[in-house]
Each structure stands twice: as structure tokens, then as C-alpha cells.
């Protein structure tokens, strides 16, 4: 320990200097765009929660409205404050989070929990990537039906193990090609769009099985709520990780532009094209099975089975770097929080869990997976936002021990976010619309109330001055930036 009760991992943290920063279009925007272009995200946007007609049950306009709203919320509520904290301090999430959860509590939340959830992402990645690689050999089976077949199990195990190893030992090699691989899903989306754009104007909800008296279809607000749940749940951890992106940003403009382009813009682009592709496929009559609202599962009828198979393999290839980065983030988290444990052990155990999720098909239930992630990090982002505002739009500094305001707000917010996913005694599952957003709101409101009630731990002094690590205004052109 040093500085009284301040742990060494906090007192020894060094801000990322200004000289190491880069413009938004060189780091934040392309990295986030690569996340939102991941096929696991956009392929299930039209299908939503699996209800009749998916999110297209009330037409294309309602679905696009919900998509745009979700994309804006991801930027302004989940990313912006963590990224500003990273930019202003030059410090990573697991240090900045000690203000909200305490110097001792921050060891667990958000740092350790962020590492744990990465193995959920690795499971999802391995499950779907393996399915895409083996699906062409099972032309008579649906995508979900090939999951847990012997070839899928073998490929998923190899995929997860290889990604974990590369994340530990070879991430520098993956990073060299990761910048360009998102061009693959981008190109495939554009090709599929041009194959279907002629039918977009003719699309009607009746073409996906929705009639005036249809049972099981979503309401208008239900469509928006499903999109908020799906997109925010998918993005929640990436929003909190905005701190690590922000510490590489030069100023507030870089933070803002990186998010608006890489998050809001890329989400609307990828999700919007997915919606237009499905609507156009049904509007043109090329697609007729209302149970299939997934652009990747429509590729066979749109571009031919052989070309569709090649596209599936290409999408799987483009998904390998994100799998490696998940392992890399988890390894860094465990190295920080469990420094005496060999990372091969911690990452190995986590990878085994990822493999279990992948081969059993549990990871294929993306609405549940995203729901858990949204419940876990919605309250984190909400509490961090309020903590930032109460501190005068700056980092308050590490707080002593476990900060009660942060932990109580997280526990209650997490419970609210999980209610739609858990069968509670006597009442069963509680339907909370847009549960990840509600978890954020509960975390923010509770933190504010508890802070005003005096339930924040005292701030501990740091010898360093991280607030001076980055310029607060956009640099002048005279400095050559």
C-alpha cells in the first residue's frame, strides 16, 4: 500500500501522456465501427426477440426509429462520460472506476467483472463463427440447427482455444490485420443491400406474417423496446470501455466525433442495412418464409448457395480478431486484479466456460446474453455518469474501500435488469421494457440519491495529477494537430 489506504495498483497508475494520443479517425471511430459491423450484432436486428414479424411488424419506419434512438443512447448515455473521464485523466477503466466503486471495490467492479464478461463474448463469437464455418456442409439445416453438431463442437473448441492463445501471446499480429477485416462485413452488407433495394418500397408487414388480427406480434412501443434492449445490451460493456478509448483521445472533440461516427453512425449503418435487406428481400418476393428474418440466413436465396457459403466463411474470418481481443481484455483484467496468478490459468478457465457456452448453444440465445450484459453494465454507466456530473464534470479521484453509493446502485440496477430473464418465486419473469436502459436509469438515480445522502466514501489523495494528462480543449492548428 501507499498513500495511506490507497492500493499500489491505483497509486502507481501513470496517465497516458498527450504525446501518445491520436485523432478520433485513427483509433476510436474505426475500432467501434468494427464492433458494430460484427455480423453477430446486425444479423439479429430485424428478428428482434423472435416475435411474429420481428421489429418489422409495424413497418420499416418504426424499426428505423427504434434503431436510431438506440444508437444515440449508446453514444450519449453509455459511452460519452466514460470516454471523457479517460481523456481527462489518461487513466484506464479499472482506475477511473475506483471513484464510483472505491479503491477496494474497484478491484472487482468494473475491472474484474469486465474480464469475466469477455468470456461470454468469446462464447458467442465461437458459437456463431463455428456455425458459419460448418453451415455450408448442412444445406438442409437452419443456422441454429447446426449448433452442437459434432463438427460445430470441434470447430468451436479450436476457435475459442486459438483466440485465447492469440489474445495472450500474439495479439500484436492480430492487430496488424484487424483494421482491415471489418471491410468484409461492410462489403457484404452493401452487396446484399443492392440485391434487395428494389423491393424496399414494396415491403408490407403482411409479407412477414403480420395481419390486423395477428397474435404474438409486437406493439409499436414493443418494437422500440426490443431494439433498445438488444442494441444497448450488446453495447453496454463497450460503452464502459470508452474510458480506455478516451485515454487515447487528444481532446473532447476526438471523444465526441469518435463516438458519433464509430458508434452512432456505424450502428445505424449496419443495423439499418440489415433492416433494409430483409424488408427488400420480402418486398421483392425473393424471401417468403416469415420465420427467417436474418440477412445472413437469406444469403442463399439472394446471391446463391455457393456465394452465400463463401460469404459465411468470410464473415467468420472477420470475427476472429474480436475473439482475440476479448481474450486480451480478459487477460489484462486478470493480470491487474489477480497479479499472482498465471494468466494462462485464469484465461484457460474462462475459455473452458466460453467453450461450454458455445457448444451447448447457450451462447446462441443472444437476447438473453445481451440482457445479462446490459444488466451488468447498465448501472455501471449510469452511476459513472452521475459521479462525473456531481464532481463538476471531472474525475473525483479514488474513494476509500467499497463506495456504498456505487455498490448499492449497482446491485439494485442489476436486479432490475435481470428481472425479465429470471423466474422469480411466485411471480415468475417480470416484464420490464428495455431492461438494460432501466438498469442504467436505476443505477444513475440511486447513485445520485445515495451520494446526496452522504453515502459516498471519502476521496483518497493521489500523488499524481491525472487531470493534467490531457488537454481539455481542441488543440490549435498552430501546434500541427
Q: Residue 213's pLDDT is what?
A: 67
Whether domain 25-207+217-365 has CATH 1.10.4160.10: the reply is yes
For residue 179, what is its C-alpha cell? 483494421
Within 135-241, residue ranges assigned H as helices are 150-169, 171-178, 183-196, 220-240
Q: Residue 468's pLDDT is what?
A: 44
Burial-class residue 454 by CB neighbours within 10 Å (0-12, 13-18, 19+). exposed
CA angle 55, 190, 141 (to 5 degrees): 60
Q: Residue 472's pLDDT is what?
A: 46
Number of helical (H) and strand (E) elements in the chain, helices listed first: 22, 0
For residue 9, what is its C-alpha cell? 495498483
CB atoms within 10 A of CB 173: 11
Q: Residue 429's pLDDT is what?
A: 79
Q: Residue 49's pLDDT is what?
A: 74
pLDDT in tens, the chain (481 residues): 444 568 877 888 889 998 999 999 998 998 899 999 999 999 999 998 788 899 999 999 999 999 999 999 999 999 999 999 999 999 989 899 999 999 989 888 887 888 889 999 999 999 999 999 999 999 888 888 999 999 999 999 999 999 999 988 877 777 677 778 889 999 999 999 999 999 999 999 999 988 766 777 889 999 999 999 999 999 999 999 999 899 999 999 999 999 999 999 999 999 999 999 999 999 999 999 998 999 999 999 999 999 999 999 999 999 998 899 888 888 877 877 777 888 889 899 999 999 999 999 999 999 899 999 999 999 999 999 999 999 999 999 999 999 999 999 999 999 999 999 988 776 777 889 999 999 999 999 999 999 999 999 999 987 654 444 544 444 444 433 3
Q: DSSP labels for 100-130?
A: HH-TTGGGIIIIIHHHHHHHHHHHHHHHHHH
Burial-class residue 471 by CB neighbours within 10 Å (0-12, 13-18, 19+). middle
- In which region does residue 333 sit, left (phi positive, over 0), alpha (psi from -120 to 50) or beta (all else)? alpha
Q: Residue 212's pLDDT is what?
A: 62
H helix or E strand, kind and range, residue 63: helix 60-73
Any residues with CB less than 8 A from the CB of 36 and at least 6 apart, and which?
A: 42, 262, 263, 266, 267, 269, 270, 271
Which residue bears the cell 477496494? 104
- Please give the Cα distance from 447 to 52 (Å, whole number): 39
Listed by start position, the domains of the chain span 25-207+217-365
- Please give the Cα distance from 99 to 403 (Å, whole number): 8
- Which residues face 22 on adjacent strands? 249
Dihedral sign of CA atoms 262, 17, 401, 334 in order: positive
Q: Which CA distances in Å does 7 have to 10, 108, 115, 159, 460?
A: 6, 13, 20, 37, 10
- Asked whether 132 and 312 are in contact (CB, 8 A), the reply is yes
- Please give the Cα distance from 460 to 449 (Å, whole number): 22
Within 197-265, residue ranges assigned H as helices are 220-240, 242-246, 252-259
- Asked whether 226 and 51 are in contact (CB, 8 A), the reply is yes
Amino acid at each position: 500500500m501507499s498513500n495511506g489506504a490507497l492500493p499500489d495498483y491505483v497509486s502507481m497508475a501513470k496517465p497516458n501522456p498527450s504525446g501518445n494520443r491520436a485523432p478520433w479517425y485513427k483509433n476510436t471511430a474505426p475500432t467501434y465501427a468494427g464492433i458494430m459491423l460484427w455480423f453477430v450484432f446486425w444479423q439479429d436486428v430485424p428478428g428482434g426477440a423472435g416475435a411474429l414479424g420481428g421489429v418489422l411488424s409495424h413497418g420499416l419506419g418504426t424499426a428505423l426509429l427504434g434503431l436510431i434512438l438506440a444508437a444515440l443512447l449508446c453514444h450519449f448515455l453509455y459511452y460519452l462520460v466514460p470516454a471523457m473521464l479517460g481523456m481527462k485523466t489518461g487513466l484506464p477503466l479499472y482506475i477511473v472506476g475506483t471513484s464510483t466503486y472505491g479503491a477496494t471495490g474497484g478491484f472487482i467492479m468494473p475491472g474484474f467483472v469486465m474480464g469475466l464478461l469477455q468470456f461470454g463474448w468469446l462464447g458467442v463469437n465461437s458459437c456463431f463463427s463455428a456455425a458459419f464455418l460448418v453451415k455450408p456442409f448442412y444445406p438442409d439445416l437452419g443456422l441454429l440447427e447446426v449448433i452442437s453438431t459434432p463438427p460445430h463442437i470441434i470447430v468451436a473448441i479450436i476457435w475459442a482455444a486459438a483466440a485465447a492463445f492469440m489474445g495472450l501471446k500474439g495479439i500484436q499480429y492480430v492487430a496488424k490485420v484487424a483494421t482491415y477485416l471489418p471491410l468484409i462485413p461492410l462489403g457484404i452488407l452493401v452487396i446484399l443491400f443492392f440485391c434487395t433495394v428494389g423491393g424496399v418500397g414494396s415491403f408490407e408487414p403482411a409479407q412477414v406474417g403480420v395481419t390486423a388480427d395477428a397474435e404474438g406480434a409486437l406493439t409499436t412501443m414493443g418494437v422500440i423496446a426490443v431494439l433498445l434492449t438488444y442494441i444497448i445490451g450488446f453495447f453496454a460493456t463497450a460503452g464502459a470501455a470508452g474510458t480506455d478509448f478516451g485515454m487515447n483521445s487528444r481532446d473532447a472533440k476526438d471523444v465526441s466525433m469518435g463516438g458519433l461516427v464509430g458508434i452512432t453512425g456505424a450502428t445505424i449503418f449496419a443495423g439499418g442495412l440489415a433492416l433494409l435487406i430483409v424488408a427488400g428481400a420480402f418486398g421483392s418476393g425473393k424471401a417468403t418464409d416469415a420465420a427467417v428474418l436474418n440477412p445472413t440466413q437469406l444469403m442463399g436465396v439472394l446471391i446463391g448457395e455457393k456465394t452465400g457459403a463463401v460469404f459465411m466463411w468470410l464473415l467468420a474470418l472477420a470475427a476472429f480478431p474480436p475473439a482475440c481481443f476479448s481474450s486480451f481484455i480478459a487477460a489484462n483484467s486478470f493480470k491487474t486484479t489477480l497479479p499472482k496468478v498465471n494468466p494462462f490459468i485464469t484465461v484457460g478457465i474462462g475459455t473452458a466456460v466460453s467453450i461450454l457456452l458455445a457448444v451447448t448453444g447457450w451462447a446462441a440465445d443472444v437476447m438473453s446474453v445481451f440482457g445479462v450484459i446490459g444488466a451488468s453494465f447498465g448501472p455501471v454507466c449510469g452511476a459513472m455518469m452521475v459521479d462525473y456530473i456531481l464532481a463538476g464534470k471531472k474525475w473525483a479521484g479514488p474513494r476509500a474501500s467499497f463506495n456504498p453509493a456505487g455498490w448499492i446502485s449497482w446491485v439494485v440496477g442489476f436486479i432490475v435488469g435481470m428481472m425479465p430473464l429470471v423466474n422469480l418465486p411466485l411471480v415468475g419473469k417480470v416484464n420490464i421494457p428495455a431492461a438494460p436502459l432501466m438498469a442504467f436509469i436505476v443505477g444513475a438515480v440511486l447513485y445520485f440519491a445515495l451520494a446526496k445522502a452522504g453515502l459516498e466514501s471519502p476521496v483518497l489523495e493521489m500523488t499524481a495529477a491525472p487531470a493534467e494528462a490531457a488537454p481539455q480543449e481542441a488543440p490549435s492548428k498552430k501546434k500541427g494537430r
